[in-house]
Amino acid sequence: MGSAQRSVAVVTGAGSGIGRATALALAARGLDVCCAGRRLEPLQETAGQLCGGRSLVVAADVSTADGVRAIVGAVGGAPVAAVVHAAAIEGIVSLADTTRSVFDQLVAVNLAGPFFLTQALRPLLADGSGIVFVSSISALHGRPRHAAYAATKAALLGLTTSLAAELAPRVRVNCVSPGATDTPMMAEAITAYLDGMDAEEIQRTGTAEMARVLLGRVGDPAELAAAIVHLALDASYSTGSVVTVDGGYSARLPGRGTPSSRRPGRCARRCGANPACWPWPAHSGHMPNSSTVCPTSVKPASAATRSAHCSTARPSTSTLFPQLRQVRWW
């Protein structure tokens, strides 16, 4: 890890998705990066991709006291310049079906883990350091079967403002609320969310969701990482802020139609005007052919049209329900 005088960034959930992208971005800025997560192999893959700073891999469950101690112990006495809480679990479950154990696990990983890791790292935080919590637009926009998950993510907003007040002026504390981002966790969430819906309901849901995304596509983890690194290292006059990074989802009211900028002829990967051109997350196992041209119609696409626009497959990291292959949702 180097001498204790080298600055360290701690990133949880560094084995994939937003956490991995953030670890890579912080290392590119010259920081040593402590990559923490539950599974060793993905963390080693992340460490192997780091350029710039050096890495330390810590297989630890941040939801447990032992996991928190392991991360702090790995950091040693090095000054911590940045802490990014990207570890999280999804929970697509109705109010009626939410058990105490499901709720407690969501709280343990999504809220208690970030809280107690921040508490444990506090003596090591350098002057001017930045803490970034990764929340979700689910904390700001309600949807069915998200109550427990959204509650844990909303709690991070309060944690951000309260810790910003408590740790100022020496430490800055901010939060990002991502929208749909191309990660394995999102692919699993979509699979769970669509379970039980018929084709018509899936189509209706997908149309409503994509109509609100001003940029007409899902985000790349590197785009979230750019915002996170800015808050952690560069935004020297920002603390207590919640930054929404959702492609404009939060800016558009439901049912306002399609932005005029989404015109026919744009690359299928970027266009949200036609369901045949909706971009799939790479991890969902289906991506549109980037060379195809958008149809001029904005009516729901036929199965034949969807097939033509989905000629390129990519490996899947989750077992998808058949409905996901019938309609492009996100």
The CATH number of whichever domain residue 172 belongs to comes to 3.40.50.720
What's the pTM? Answer: 0.76
pLDDT at 49 > cutoff 50: yes
- Any domain includes 46: yes
Mean pLDDT is lowest, of 100-114, 216-230, 302-316, for 302-316
- Any domain includes 294: no
CA 89 remoteness from chain centre: 10
Catalytic residue list: 149
- Any domain includes 315: no
Query: Could you tell me the CA-to-CA distances from 126 to 24, 129, 232, 233, 236 in Å, in that order?
Result: 21, 5, 12, 12, 14
- Any domain includes 238: yes
The conformation of residue 143, written as its DSSP 8-state character, comes to: -
Query: Could you tell me the CA-to-CA distances from 157 to 110, 134, 149, 166, 196 in Å, in that order?
Result: 12, 9, 13, 14, 32
pLDDT at 230 > cutoff 90: yes
Confidence of residue 268 (pLDDT cuts 50, 70, 90): very low
- Any domain includes 190: no
Q: What is the tally of structural domains in the chain?
A: 1
Distance in angstroms (rounded) separating the CA atoms of residues 326 and 149: 27
Residue 117's pLDDT is what? Answer: 98
- Any domain includes 106: yes
- Any domain includes 303: no
Residue scoring higher pLDDT (92 or 121): 121
Tell me the residue range of the domain where 173 lies: 8-182+218-249
- Any domain includes 203: no
CA 140 remoteness from chain centre: 15
